[in-house]
Amino acid sequence: MSKQYSVKQVADLSGITVRTLHHYDKIGLLKPAKRSQKKYRYYDEDNLLRLQQILFYRELDFSLEQTRAILDDPVFDFVKALQTHRESLLQRHKRMKQLIQTVDQTLEKIEGDRTMALKDKDLYKGFDQEKIDRWNKEVDEKYDPEKVAESRRNIGKMSKDQFKDIQKQGDVITEALGQLMDKGADAPEVQEQIKLHHAWIENFYVCPAEMYKGLGQLYIENPEFTAFYEKFKPDLAAFMCEAMGYFADNVLKD
Amino acid sequence: MSKQYSVKQVADLSGITVRTLHHYDKIGLLKPAKRSQKKYRYYDEDNLLRLQQILFYRELDFSLEQTRAILDDPVFDFVKALQTHRESLLQRHKRMKQLIQTVDQTLEKIEGDRTMALKDKDLYKGFDQEKIDRWNKEVDEKYDPEKVAESRRNIGKMSKDQFKDIQKQGDVITEALGQLMDKGADAPEVQEQIKLHHAWIENFYVCPAEMYKGLGQLYIENPEFTAFYEKFKPDLAAFMCEAMGYFADNVLKD
DNA sequence: TCTTGACCCTCACCCGGCGTCATAGCCTAT
DNA sequence: ATAGGCTATGACGCCGGGTGAGGGTCAAGA
């Protein structure tokens, strides 16, 4: 009599979960060799072999149904199944490439918007292109990559509740700024809120003066952002941009 | 008052289904601007704009939840969302490449098995490598690509019932051969079943003598196939291989 | 012998992104 | 009035399991 294995043992040996074994049993993909009186599942060596094959095809992204078809009758077009599958993989591979390109283009466009804001709008006469380039470099080098990476990880780890909280905080600040639009962008009340806003932004990334200015420009250059702020109040985006510029120049002024 | 659009109109304009609009409404991703007394949904231009953005992110394979987060608060890390997403796309892209390579290797290995069967096993002394190569070419050219492609399409179109029927036919034939293992591989009864087997194989692909021989070899060389036939009877794979060889030489003999 | 803790079972709901009914109400044209 | 084309809601289904709940089983130690 050959060895027999419990669900847990098989799970541990193969690195899948017990639940998955239950699932494979239920859908008839891998039935245990024996069931004890008490309904315990016991697997034999053949079962393990079959499981290996199942996992092999799973690795290759075959569906469980396809896998079953192949294992139960490999003659039925084993090679062609592989070839067909290869085709579909190739398809998806191409798609991924396209998606990445599109994302890249979008990123470039946004980055372009920001640079444009700095370059063409003639708002920063004191900074020539060389300085801007140097600043870009500095941001890359100065803000310790480890810290940046860490803050990213933090964001990834944020719970949904934390996420919501922070979103609400942002909304409160924006709302407050909306109420202050009759004041000038340099009014103390406004600047107080902007200070909060800047602190809020720094929840997400280190944001020195020039970057904060750039962000303000982005608010009026990029429709996504503009639309968002217009929902609070008409022209809020422009107002914020101005207030943020003032704050960057007079308070942050790195 | 700006124009308003019914579900159907929006669906037709944007190329998605009405159901999808219902779904987006339910999950709060895209709420219609108005609901009539009778609960009919009416969308306005802003809704259409938002839908465009939703579809943009959908194109990029963002989840609806991510999309909602981005559209409802683009400030919350719009750029980083893109970058993170780019990472995950890149990951998947790499994975696809790997999968394709693995499939290719598997295909090569199988092809290798078959070639080995023809080349090393010294079973075909009459055919030198050159002839084998020529045969490979001929198969590629002779069997009208259109027909091959068509048969592939047919297999793809096969209903599940047809599929099952054909699988059963194959099992019946194999079973019958299992019962005949006490006869010689060249016995008339055996050869009769093998004839059926060959006809059955040609359901899937044109299978001239040499290919049929190769297939027989594959049955004993490739564990997938061997295991399958061993489940019917021990040594059935070897028996079939022999009988198939005999049939190829004496009946098909292209 | 009894208890503990690790293991096992089944049942059943959950995720995403909708497709696909079923059932019923509404609107318009003939 | 009747047909057909639109609309609504609600519920189940798909895939590949995750994640319990609620209860039974087993071996080892006190």
**Cα A52 vs. chain centroid, distance in angstroms?**
33
Q: How many domains does chain A have?
A: 2
The residue of chain B nearest to residue A99, with distances taken between CA atoms, is B60
Out of B8-17, B49-58, B153-162, B164-173, the most confident range is B8-17
Check if A234 contacts B (Cβ < 8 Å): no
Q: Are residues A176 and A245 in the same domain?
A: yes
Determine whether the interchain pair A82/B224 forms a contact, defined as Cβ–Cβ distance below 8 Å.
Answer: no
- Is the per-residue pLDDT at B136 higher than 60? no
Residue after which a domain boundary falls, among A72, A91, A115: A72
Residue A67 lies in a domain: yes
Q: Are residues A130 and A217 in the same domain?
A: yes
Residue A84 lies in a domain: no
CATH of the domain at B14: 1.10.1660.10
Residue A11 lies in a domain: yes
- What is the SS3 string spanning B76-145? CCHHHHHHHHHHHHHHHHHHHHHHHHHHHHHHHHHHHHHHHHHHCCCCCCCCCHHHHHHHHHHHHHHCCH
Residues in chain A: 254
Determine whether the interchain pair B78/A103 forms a contact, defined as Cβ–Cβ distance below 8 Å.
Answer: no
A10-24, B25-39, B77-91, range with the lowest pLDDT: B77-91
Q: Are residues B244 and B136 in the same domain?
A: yes
ipTM score assigned to the predicted complex:
0.56
Residue after which a domain boundary falls, among B37, B57, B72: B72
Scanning chain B, the segments in alpha helix (DSSP H) are 7-14, 18-26, 45-59, 64-72, 78-119, 129-142, 145-157, 160-179, 188-201, 209-221, 223-230, 236-247
- What is the SS3 string spanning chain A? CCCCECHHHHHHHHCCCHHHHHHHHHCCCCCCCEECCCCCEEECHHHHHHHHHHHHHHHCCCCHHHHHHHHHCCCCCHHHHHHHHHHHHHHHHHHHHHHHHHHHHHHHHHHHHHHHHHHCCCCCCCCCHHHHHHHHHHHHHHCCHHHHHHHHHHHHHCCHHHHHHHHHHHHHHHHHHHHCCCCCCCCHHHHHHHHHHHHHHCCCCCCCHHHHHHHHHHHHHCHHHHHHHHCCCCCHHHHHHHHHHHHHHHHHCC
Check if B60 contacts A (Cβ < 8 Å): yes
Check if B40 contacts A (Cβ < 8 Å): no
Contacts of A100 in chain B (CB under 8 A): 86, 89-90, 93
Q: Are residues B46 and B149 in the same domain?
A: no
Q: Are residues B247 and B137 in the same domain?
A: yes
Determine whether the interchain pair B80/A170 forms a contact, defined as Cβ–Cβ distance below 8 Å.
Answer: no
Check if B77 contacts A (Cβ < 8 Å): yes
Q: Are residues B42 and B138 in the same domain?
A: no
**Distance separating alpha carbons of residues B74 and B116, to the nearest angstrom:** 60
pTM of the model: 0.56
Residue B110 lies in a domain: no
Check if B74 contacts A (Cβ < 8 Å): yes
Residue B119 lies in a domain: no
Q: Are residues A56 and A154 in the same domain?
A: no
Q: Which of residues 6-25 of B touch A (CB under 8 A)?
A: none
Nucleotide nearest B58, from its CA to each C1': C17
CATH of the domain at B181: 1.10.490.50
- Is the per-residue pLDDT at A125 higher than 70? no
**Cα A195 vs. chain centroid, distance in angstroms?**
28
Return mean pLDDT, chain B. Answer: 74
Query: Is strand C less than 7 A from the beta carbon of B64?
Result: yes
- Is the per-residue pLDDT at B7 higher than 60? yes
* Spatial CA neighbour of B71 closest among B56, B89, B92: B56
Contacts of B154 in chain A (CB under 8 A): none
Q: Are residues B137 and B247 in the same domain?
A: yes
Confidence of residue A205 (pLDDT cuts 50, 70, 90): low
Instruction: Output the CA–CA distances (angstroms, integers) from residue A128 to A141, A172, A193, in the order listed.
Output: 20, 37, 31
Residue B77 lies in a domain: no
Instruction: Output the CA–CA distances (angstroms, integers) from residue A148 to A134, A153, B149, in the order listed.
Output: 19, 9, 53
pLDDT in tens, A60-108: 788 898 888 878 776 666 666 667 777 777 778 877 877 777 777 777 7
Residue A86 lies in a domain: no
Q: Are residues B133 and B67 in the same domain?
A: no
Check if B153 contacts A (Cβ < 8 Å): no
pLDDT in tens, B51-68: 988 888 888 788 898 888
Q: Are residues B59 and B140 in the same domain?
A: no
The residue of chain A nearest to residue B86, with distances taken between CA atoms, is A100
pLDDT in tens, B182-202: 999 999 999 999 999 988 877
Q: Are residues A68 and A162 in the same domain?
A: no
Residue B213 lies in a domain: yes
Domain containing A240 equals 125-252
Confidence of residue A143 (pLDDT cuts 50, 70, 90): very low
Strand C bases within 7 angstroms of protein beta carbons: 7-11, 16-21, 25-27
Q: Are residues A62 and A133 in the same domain?
A: no
B34 DSSP assignment: E
pLDDT in tens, B76-131: 666 666 677 777 777 788 777 777 777 777 777 666 655 544 443 333 333 334 43
**Nearest CA-CA distance, residue B226 and chain A, Å:** 10
Residue after which a domain boundary falls, among B29, B45, B72: B72
Residue type, A191: Q
B40 DSSP assignment: -
